[in-house]
Amino acid sequence: MTVQGQYQIVGATARAIGESVEQAVAGGLLAEGAELPSVRALAQTLGVSPATVAAAYRTLRARGVVVSAERRGVRVASRPPVAVRAAGPLPAGVRDLATGNPDPALLPPLPALEPGARAAPGAPGAPARPAAPRRTRLYGEQVNLPALVDLAGDGFARDGIAADGIAVTSGALDGIERVLTSALRPGDRVALEDPGYTGVLDLVRALGLEPVGVKVDLLGPLPDTLSAALDEGVRAAVLTPRAHNPTGAAIDTARADELTEVLAAAPDVLLVEDDHAGAVAGAPYRTLSAGRARWAVVRSVSKSLGPDLRLAVVAADDGTLARVEGRQRLGPGWVSHLLQDLVARLWADPSVATALTAAAETYARRRQALTAALAARAVGTATGDSGLNVWVPVPEEGLVVRGLYQAGWAVQAGEAYRLRAGPAVRITTADLEPPDAEGLADDLAALLRVPAATNRA
């Protein structure tokens, strides 16, 4: 059956039908959000039973390739977990405020891979002797670098996190996936922030888990909606205490106390905290994990030290940690000691700590410049109290995304971040200086036809 006049779904079995859809998604023939035929319509076209099509759709939903919603039918998911052809680079004159990257100028320079001294001088007139080569690690050796574990433990302790054991994973999402799969099975429900990070939402769907939304305000998850999610029988909750992506929310002490009280009523629920921004979040860390039987805190270095350092450290209860490390050893075994060594040396360098503090202050100044500029023009209720992004509620996402693109700004539509939250756009402010923020605010106000403010002081 042809979908949107461009692709014909084929197959006589549930497996073949599912593969047909998945190949079309991977090849870019079925775009994110494309509506698929109803079970009955596709069954009639292909000459198969409705049960066969329903089984194909069920498998695709379990893998996160499609989603279904009441009165919206079955659609291709946002960011489906298949290798989709990448979009081309932005054209000249369009500013990238969509990808969520940190400012490269604020990332500390990486030390040389070889630790220690410079090349040793040889005899007068002879070329310098190279530094001693790094020893290659072998199978059966300690998988986690003690220096890195010690530094990570110190950081967790400063934030009130009981890090008796620490695992090292290949980034935050790798850590979250390993924690969730250590305890959950397809069909289990997971409480997620709404709006929330697309990576976590897509991961949960790809694992065959069912997301249950928890509303978010400036101070993070709302206690009453978290309580409602717990009442729905969720087995885990993934929350972001600071630098919430996309809204920039950060939990304060009072909210942390409220959420802790709510979670205390569900002691068997696995709590996962995602500290993806770490040292550049721009807000203190307030954990909800104290005293819980099942918990994990995943702390990434991607935003602070650079996305190419695919590393995160995970503190967790003994049982969860043992499962994470045991499963890891059946796959990659360990995270490269080259990466572990780089991160440890950066964390141990006082000048890097100073630079990260300055970076957090710069990110805060840039966020605040945009939210202030939008407020001066009466553009919605933009939020961005921590992290690298500003979330701007809008009446219609597509109109705003297209209009800003034509004005020279690439921003992210909010649909991929939402379960039931209202429409909005996410704007990454990591390298957006205040003068540029004024221009962006002017263009957004013009799109929304907001009257010019008479006083922007």
In which region does residue 282 sit, left (phi positive, over 0), alpha (psi from -120 to 50) or beta (all else)?
left
Inform me whether the pLDDT recorded for 457 exceeds 80: no
Inform me whether the pLDDT recorded for 25 exceeds 50: yes
Q: Does domain 2-76 have CATH number 3.40.1390.10?
A: no
C-alpha span between 389 and 409 (Å, rounded)? 14
Q: What is the pLDDT of residues 161-197, one digit of tens each?
A: 999 899 999 999 999 999 999 999 999 999 999 999 9
CATH of domain 146-348: 3.40.640.10
Q: What is the dihedral of CA 92, 98, 102, 104, to 10 degrees?
A: -10
Q: What is the pLDDT of residues 299-327, one digit of tens each?
A: 999 999 999 999 999 999 999 999 999 99
**Phi, psi values for residue 38, rounded to 5°:** -65, 160
pLDDT attached to residue 91: 87
Residue 248 structure tokens: 């920039």
**What average pLDDT score do residues 2-22 get?**
81
As a whole number, the mean pLDDT across the chain is 90
Q: Does domain 95-103+352-447 have CATH number 3.10.105.10?
A: no
| DSSP collapsed to 3 states, 174-240 | HHHHHHHHCCCCCCCEEEEEECCCHHHHHHHHHCCCEEEEEEEECCEECHHHHHHHHHCCCCEEEEC
**What average pLDDT score do residues 413-439 get?**
95
**What average pLDDT score do residues 62-71 get?**
75
Every domain of the chain and the residues it spans:
2-76, 95-103+352-447, 146-348
Whether this prediction's pTM lies above 0.75 is answered by yes
Burial 224-236 (b: 16+ CB within 10 A, else e): ebbbbbbeeebbb
